[in-house]
Amino acid sequence: MKYKMPGRCCICGHDITITSFMCPTCKSRTEGEFAPCRFCSLSSDQLDFIEVFLKCRGNIKDMEKELGISYPTIRNRLEDALKALGLSSGTEPAVVRDRKDMAEILNALDKGDITPQEALKKLKSR
């Protein structure tokens, strides 16, 4: 059975790093540090919605018929998916925010502004 690649840790909810993958045909393995695609962070419902959106080529009337839901509901679901992808106006993707936070902590540690213990505590609390 194949499982969907997670976009977030199932324990704490933070972003994950993929460390290996394998080709099912030739069985070759690749190891390293890879970020999951941004669509991996979408829920199954959000992915299904995006699939219908693409199938209907973004035509809201067709989506209303396909999904049997109202225009406002479609707009809300679209906005939810955009937020999850970090594409909503005025929002920054969570991955970018997390990396900026981590960089600030590491820079403060490098400058000697905080101790290694303080840096570790800040990283764990993210």
The predicted pLDDT at position 62 comes to: 94
Q: What is the pLDDT of residues 42-88, one digit of tens each?
A: 888 999 999 999 999 999 999 999 999 998 899 899 998 988 888 87
pLDDT tops 60 at residue 94: no
Dihedral (CA of 53, 57, 62, 66) sign: negative
For the entire predicted model, the pTM comes to 0.53
Query: CB of 61 within 8 A of CB of 69?
Result: no
Q: What is the pLDDT of residue 98?
A: 66
Q: For residues 71 and 93, which has the higher predicted lDDT (pLDDT)?
A: 71
Integer Cα distance of 126 and 13 in angstroms? 10
